[in-house]
Amino acid sequence: MEIMGYVFVIIAFARLLAEVFERLGYPGFLGEIAAGMVLSAILVDMPRDQMVLLAELGLFFLMISAGLEVTPEELHYAGKRTVPLYVATYIVMFLVTLPFTNWSVTSDTIIVAAILSIASAPIVLRLKRFFGQDFLHVALSYAVISEVMSLFIVYVMARIHEAPGDYVPVFTDVLKDALFIGTIMYLNYWIGIKHKVMIIRFLRRLKSDEAVFGLFMVFSTSLAFISDEIGLHFTIGGFMAGLIMHSDLIGTKQYDRLTTIVSGVTYGIFAPIFFAWRGLNFETELSFVVIEFFLIVYAVRLLLSSVMVRHESAASSIVRGAGIASFGVLGLLVGEIGFVSGVLSKHMYAMASLASVLGIFTSATLGRVVTRYSTEPQKATE
């Protein structure tokens, strides 16, 4: 079967199961992941090198979409709440992981703690109906911080593994990363003040939506290339591009034109491939220890998140905590990078992978159940 045949089968089956999961009340991406798990036993001769490229494009567009959902100002404002939450979550997950790594601080402990602290931005966007629009920017801010930090941590551990004892290259790369992100944010601030009107006028002269999308893709792929060259994951550049192209800078009309096309390309083509690909490459091991690990991790993280983002009622606090504790498919990618780089053992990779997938499903279920039972009394009193 040619590559296009595999693409057709994956997209068709992924969208079919996504529709089934949506009708059951779950986010469609869970069906897409399930489709990948089923197809992994069927498409044994699939050309994986070519499919990797399509899956990476899926992650790239998902990160762009996440960036378009929030402005730098909203991210900065929400970050005041989410940075302390992330630090607390990482420390707690690190401590929870220690007993499962024989109480030794190794790359396993450091990377798994980062994976268990993730709330994936694309998944937060799909779960926003469970915790409300008003909390979305806080959840997205946490997701962005956790995703960037998890990718940063696994790449740092891989560099240390490649050159043990030589920390100068690692320190240099960290400075490059900080300079890149800082420069992008400063340019966004400077352009927004002095050249906002010029940008809006220029975009208005473009007659077609395709021209606006084309310019944006040149910009986003350029940032992705720079991001990859300095040691960050290329998707971080895509997120930064989406973050900068907010409606305050380019105007509401141009923003709507851009988001319409990006959303169609992302969720119509590439996102199903990415989620199905993560399902195709899902590796874990089922044992009492693995299940025990997930139950402890999820209970501790849900409790911590619910307390730190507590709201007016217990139900609202739990739903918000479930949104923050939604783990994420990016955790599977981080685990795969660590495993391939030799800094994450197969056993801990399997445990973290299962925790990521079960965490997504559990958070979605918890959000549905709590939301349903908390709204029923309100309907009865009306």
What is the pLDDT, as a whole number, of residue 376? 55
d(CA 285, CA 270): 28
Q: Is residue 31 part of a domain?
A: no
Alpha helices in the chain (DSSP H): 3-23, 28-39, 48-68, 72-97, 107-116, 121-131, 136-162, 168-194, 196-205, 209-229, 234-244, 247-250, 252-265, 271-280, 288-308, 314-324, 330-341, 346-381
Q: Is residue 96 part of a domain?
A: yes
User: In a 10 Å sphere around its CB, with 0-12 CB exposed, 13-18 middle and 19+ buried, how is residue 373 labelled?
Assistant: exposed
* End-to-end Cα spacing for the chain: 58
Q: Is residue 136 part of a domain?
A: yes
Asked whether 355 and 147 are in contact (CB, 8 A), the reply is no
DSSP string, 300-317: HHHHHHHHHT--SSHHHH
Per the structure, the complete domain to which residue 214 belongs is given by 70-270+285-381
d(CA 337, CA 178): 22
What is the pLDDT, as a whole number, of residue 88? 94
For position 173, which CATH number holds? Answer: 1.20.1530.20
What is the pLDDT, as a whole number, of residue 129? 62
Q: Is residue 367 part of a domain?
A: yes
What is the pLDDT, as a whole number, of residue 207? 67
Q: Is residue 142 part of a domain?
A: yes
**pTM higher than 0.85:** no
Q: Is residue 241 part of a domain?
A: yes
Per-position pLDDT tens, the chain of length 382: 577 787 888 888 888 888 888 888 777 777 888 888 787 777 767 777 777 888 888 888 888 887 787 777 777 777 778 889 999 999 999 999 999 999 999 999 999 999 999 987 656 666 666 666 667 778 878 887 888 888 888 888 888 888 777 778 778 877 888 888 888 877 777 766 566 666 667 666 766 777 778 888 898 999 899 888 887 778 888 888 888 877 666 667 777 878 888 888 887 878 888 877 777 777 666 677 888 899 999 999 999 998 988 877 787 788 888 888 888 777 888 888 888 888 999 889 888 888 888 888 888 788 778 777 765 555 445 4
Domain count, the chain: 1
Q: Is residue 265 part of a domain?
A: yes
Structure-block tokens of residue 246: 């907010």
Alpha helices in 230-329 (DSSP H): 234-244, 247-250, 252-265, 271-280, 288-308, 314-324
Q: Is residue 111 part of a domain?
A: yes
How many CB atoms sit inside 10 A of residue 110's CB?
20
Asked whether 328 and 361 are in contact (CB, 8 A), the reply is no
What is the pLDDT, as a whole number, of residue 103? 92
Asked whether 326 and 120 are in contact (CB, 8 A), the reply is yes
Q: How far is CA 308 from CA 90, 176, 184, 304, in A?
A: 14, 33, 30, 6
